[in-house]
Amino acid sequence: MFVFLKKGCTFAPDFKNQLIMKNIKSIVPFLSLVVLSFSFVSCEKEKIAPVVNHNHPAKTVSVEYRITSLTGDITVNYLAPCQGLPGLNPVETQINKTTHTITFDCYTGTFLSIEAWNNDYSKNEIILEIFVDGEIFQTGTLNHNLNKAVASGTYY
Protein backbone atom coordinates (compact mmCIF):
# COMPACT_ATOMS: atom_id res chain seq x y z
CA MET A 1 0.00 0.00 0.00
CA PHE A 2 2.84 2.43 0.75
CA VAL A 3 5.41 3.28 -1.84
CA PHE A 4 8.90 4.25 -0.77
CA LEU A 5 10.21 7.09 -2.89
CA LYS A 6 13.39 8.11 -1.12
CA LYS A 7 14.91 6.98 2.03
CA GLY A 8 12.64 8.04 4.90
CA CYS A 9 9.76 9.37 2.72
CA THR A 10 6.50 7.52 2.17
CA PHE A 11 3.59 8.19 -0.11
CA ALA A 12 0.13 6.63 0.05
CA PRO A 13 -1.64 7.04 -3.34
CA ASP A 14 -4.26 4.34 -2.66
CA PHE A 15 -5.41 5.87 0.63
CA LYS A 16 -7.07 8.83 -1.08
CA ASN A 17 -8.78 6.55 -3.66
CA GLN A 18 -10.10 4.27 -0.92
CA LEU A 19 -11.57 7.23 0.96
CA ILE A 20 -13.34 8.43 -2.19
CA MET A 21 -14.73 4.93 -2.88
CA LYS A 22 -16.08 4.64 0.69
CA ASN A 23 -17.85 7.98 0.33
CA ILE A 24 -19.32 6.98 -3.04
CA LYS A 25 -20.52 3.65 -1.63
CA SER A 26 -22.32 5.45 1.21
CA ILE A 27 -23.86 8.08 -1.09
CA VAL A 28 -25.15 5.72 -3.83
CA PRO A 29 -28.00 4.19 -1.73
CA PHE A 30 -29.11 7.65 -0.64
CA LEU A 31 -29.12 8.96 -4.21
CA SER A 32 -31.03 5.87 -5.37
CA LEU A 33 -33.66 6.51 -2.72
CA VAL A 34 -34.00 10.16 -3.79
CA VAL A 35 -34.41 9.21 -7.46
CA LEU A 36 -36.94 6.51 -6.58
CA SER A 37 -38.99 8.90 -4.43
CA PHE A 38 -39.15 11.45 -7.25
CA SER A 39 -40.50 8.79 -9.58
CA PHE A 40 -43.41 8.13 -7.16
CA VAL A 41 -44.11 11.81 -6.60
CA SER A 42 -44.51 12.42 -10.29
CA CYS A 43 -47.08 9.61 -10.69
CA GLU A 44 -50.68 10.63 -11.19
CA LYS A 45 -53.71 8.51 -10.35
CA GLU A 46 -55.78 7.47 -13.30
CA LYS A 47 -59.17 9.10 -13.30
CA ILE A 48 -61.86 6.65 -14.31
CA ALA A 49 -65.26 7.92 -15.32
CA PRO A 50 -68.18 6.38 -13.39
CA VAL A 51 -70.06 3.60 -15.08
CA VAL A 52 -73.34 4.78 -16.53
CA ASN A 53 -75.77 2.08 -17.53
CA HIS A 54 -77.90 3.58 -20.27
CA ASN A 55 -79.99 0.39 -20.50
CA HIS A 56 -81.58 1.14 -17.12
CA PRO A 57 -82.57 4.79 -16.82
CA ALA A 58 -83.16 6.23 -13.35
CA LYS A 59 -86.59 5.52 -11.95
CA THR A 60 -88.44 6.92 -8.98
CA VAL A 61 -88.31 4.82 -5.80
CA SER A 62 -89.94 5.20 -2.39
CA VAL A 63 -87.46 5.51 0.50
CA GLU A 64 -88.25 4.98 4.19
CA TYR A 65 -85.82 5.60 7.04
CA ARG A 66 -86.88 3.67 10.18
CA ILE A 67 -85.38 4.70 13.51
CA THR A 68 -85.70 2.67 16.71
CA SER A 69 -84.20 4.03 19.92
CA LEU A 70 -84.18 2.58 23.41
CA THR A 71 -83.99 6.02 25.10
CA GLY A 72 -86.32 7.94 22.80
CA ASP A 73 -84.01 10.97 23.03
CA ILE A 74 -81.70 11.05 20.01
CA THR A 75 -80.34 13.36 17.32
CA VAL A 76 -80.64 12.19 13.72
CA ASN A 77 -78.79 13.41 10.61
CA TYR A 78 -80.08 12.16 7.28
CA LEU A 79 -80.21 12.98 3.58
CA ALA A 80 -83.65 13.92 2.24
CA PRO A 81 -85.20 16.23 -0.36
CA CYS A 82 -85.54 19.88 0.68
CA GLN A 83 -88.09 22.14 -0.98
CA GLY A 84 -86.51 24.22 -3.72
CA LEU A 85 -83.13 22.42 -3.63
CA PRO A 86 -81.98 19.73 -6.10
CA GLY A 87 -81.08 16.22 -4.94
CA LEU A 88 -80.91 15.12 -1.31
CA ASN A 89 -79.64 17.50 1.34
CA PRO A 90 -78.52 17.04 4.97
CA VAL A 91 -81.19 17.44 7.63
CA GLU A 92 -80.66 17.32 11.40
CA THR A 93 -83.52 16.76 13.82
CA GLN A 94 -84.20 15.78 17.43
CA ILE A 95 -86.43 12.75 17.96
CA ASN A 96 -88.15 12.18 21.30
CA LYS A 97 -89.87 8.87 20.51
CA THR A 98 -88.70 5.28 20.59
CA THR A 99 -89.75 4.72 16.95
CA HIS A 100 -89.90 7.14 14.06
CA THR A 101 -90.11 6.95 10.25
CA ILE A 102 -89.13 9.39 7.50
CA THR A 103 -90.39 8.77 3.96
CA PHE A 104 -89.75 10.43 0.59
CA ASP A 105 -89.30 9.60 -3.10
CA CYS A 106 -86.05 9.87 -5.06
CA TYR A 107 -84.34 8.38 -8.11
CA THR A 108 -82.30 5.20 -8.34
CA GLY A 109 -78.56 5.90 -8.20
CA THR A 110 -79.03 8.28 -5.26
CA PHE A 111 -76.81 8.05 -2.18
CA LEU A 112 -78.96 7.47 0.93
CA SER A 113 -77.63 8.07 4.45
CA ILE A 114 -78.86 8.29 8.03
CA GLU A 115 -76.97 8.48 11.32
CA ALA A 116 -78.12 8.88 14.92
CA TRP A 117 -76.74 9.16 18.43
CA ASN A 118 -78.10 9.34 21.96
CA ASN A 119 -78.41 12.87 23.37
CA ASP A 120 -77.48 11.68 26.86
CA TYR A 121 -74.22 10.09 25.58
CA SER A 122 -75.41 6.70 26.76
CA LYS A 123 -74.62 3.44 25.02
CA ASN A 124 -78.32 2.56 24.66
CA GLU A 125 -79.17 0.75 21.45
CA ILE A 126 -80.19 2.58 18.27
CA ILE A 127 -81.31 0.69 15.15
CA LEU A 128 -81.44 2.39 11.74
CA GLU A 129 -83.01 0.82 8.66
CA ILE A 130 -83.30 2.08 5.09
CA PHE A 131 -86.13 0.57 3.04
CA VAL A 132 -86.43 1.11 -0.72
CA ASP A 133 -89.77 0.25 -2.32
CA GLY A 134 -90.71 -1.68 0.83
CA GLU A 135 -87.58 -3.90 0.90
CA ILE A 136 -84.71 -3.59 3.35
CA PHE A 137 -81.68 -1.93 1.71
CA GLN A 138 -79.26 -0.99 4.55
CA THR A 139 -79.18 -1.32 8.34
CA GLY A 140 -77.02 0.07 11.11
CA THR A 141 -76.77 -0.27 14.88
CA LEU A 142 -74.99 1.77 17.52
CA ASN A 143 -71.21 1.55 17.23
CA HIS A 144 -70.13 1.73 20.88
CA ASN A 145 -66.70 3.15 20.00
CA LEU A 146 -68.17 6.06 18.01
CA ASN A 147 -71.44 6.35 20.01
CA LYS A 148 -73.23 6.59 16.68
CA ALA A 149 -75.37 4.37 14.45
CA VAL A 150 -74.95 4.73 10.67
CA ALA A 151 -76.70 3.23 7.64
CA SER A 152 -75.89 4.38 4.11
CA GLY A 153 -75.42 3.33 0.51
CA THR A 154 -76.26 4.07 -3.11
CA TYR A 155 -79.38 2.29 -4.38
CA TYR A 156 -79.39 1.29 -8.06
pLDDT at 122 (0 to 100)? 87
Report pLDDT digits (tens) over 37-94: 555 444 444 454 444 455 567 899 999 999 999 989 999 999 999 887 888 999 999 9
Q: What is the pTM of this model?
A: 0.64
Do residues 113 and 78 lie in contact, with contact meaning Cβ atoms separated by under 8 Å?
yes
Tell me the average pLDDT across 95-112: 94
What is the per-residue pLDDT for 130?
98
CATH 1.10.3470 assigned to domain 60-155? The reply is: no
Distance, C-alpha 120 to centroid of its chain: 28
Q: What is the reported pLDDT for 144?
A: 87
The single-letter code of the amino acid at 14 is D
Position 3 pLDDT exceeds 50: no
pLDDT at 150 over 80: yes
Spatial CB neighbours of 17, under 8 Å, sequence gap ≥ 6: none
Spell out the domain ranges in the chain.
60-155
The C-alpha atoms of residue 28 and residue 20 are separated, in whole angstroms, by 12
Comparing 15-29, 97-111, 127-141, which segment has the lowest mean pLDDT? 15-29
CA distances from 77 to 2, 20, 91, 114, 116 (A): 83, 67, 6, 6, 6
| Number of other residues whose CB lies within 10 A of the CB of residue 46 | 5
Instruction: Please say if the pLDDT value at position 112 is more than 60.
Output: yes
Task: Identify residue 63 by its one-letter amino acid code.
Answer: V
